[in-house]
Amino acid sequence: MKPAEMHPERIRKTRILIADDHPIVRYGLSQLIKQEPDMCVSATASGMTEALQVIESGKVDLVIAGVTLGDGSGIDLIKHVKSKSDKLPILMFSMHDESLFAERVLRAGASGYLMKSEPVEKVLAAIRRVYDGNVCVSESIIKQLLNNQRTSPADSHLASLQTLTDRELEVYNHIGRGKSTREIAGLLHINVKTVETHCTHIIKKLDLKSMLELIHYASSWFHHIGR
């Protein structure tokens, strides 16, 4: 049965905003969605400011957002949207480890978290599930949320990252991507001194010895999740 036949009550297509800092992701998702009879791409955005402008126009029924945006983060976008309206569903679409980010984005108000490595069928199913008012996460995340614990020694570094605040994790992520403190300050719209303070807190929480060691750990982590 085709998607349109499954939802005959829908008079118009679901209007989707794709917000991601990677052009290839925006393009790929757009091409995928355009082939579906019950959904369309109303707009794409590389940054949070641009995404918020589209959302405020009222021409969006669902948002697909990446964890990292050009001038902010997906978590910031979720919090901002939810502070004004709790009705707009947001699906986080990311390459980042779901065991680290999924609980955070759900807590911020997202309706689902999906890895970019998932097959096309699952991506489309997740979009429809979230639009219909359901929560979409993997079975492993459901178990994690229920158990709220880890038993594998291999996850020790991941467990340490869980102690970071949302903002500290964003800074850590940008450090891993090779950004300088000044670049991070610009991306997150905060001053350099605040970034340095976050770095100090991260170093302490992860039991590291220096900024150089922080850069090494963050870079290794980023390349690991990228693979």
> Domain containing 167 — which CATH number?
1.10.10.10
Answer yes or no: do 59 and 103 share one domain.
Answer: yes
At 194, list the tokens: 């605040």
Question: pLDDT tens, 88-118?
Answer: 999 999 877 666 778 788 888 898 898 888 8
Of the residues 87, 117, 146, the one at which a domain ends: 146
> According to the model, what pLDDT value does residue 149 have?
44
Question: pLDDT tens, 129-172?
Answer: 999 988 888 766 666 555 554 444 345 566 678 888 888 988 99
Answer yes or no: do 126 and 167 share one domain.
Answer: no
Q: Which one is predicted more confidently, 188 or 8?
A: 188
Edge-first strand order for the sheet with 14-19 is 39-45, 14-19, 62-65, 90-94, 112-115
- Global pTM reads 0.66
Domain that holds residue 183: 153-226
Query: Could you give the CA distance from residue 8 to residue 181 in angstroms, rounded to a whole number?
Result: 52
- Maximum mean pLDDT: which of 128-142, 188-202, 208-222: 188-202
Any residues with CB less than 8 A from the CB of 199 and at least 6 apart, and which? 171, 175, 181, 211, 214
User: Is 8's pLDDT higher than 60?
Assistant: no
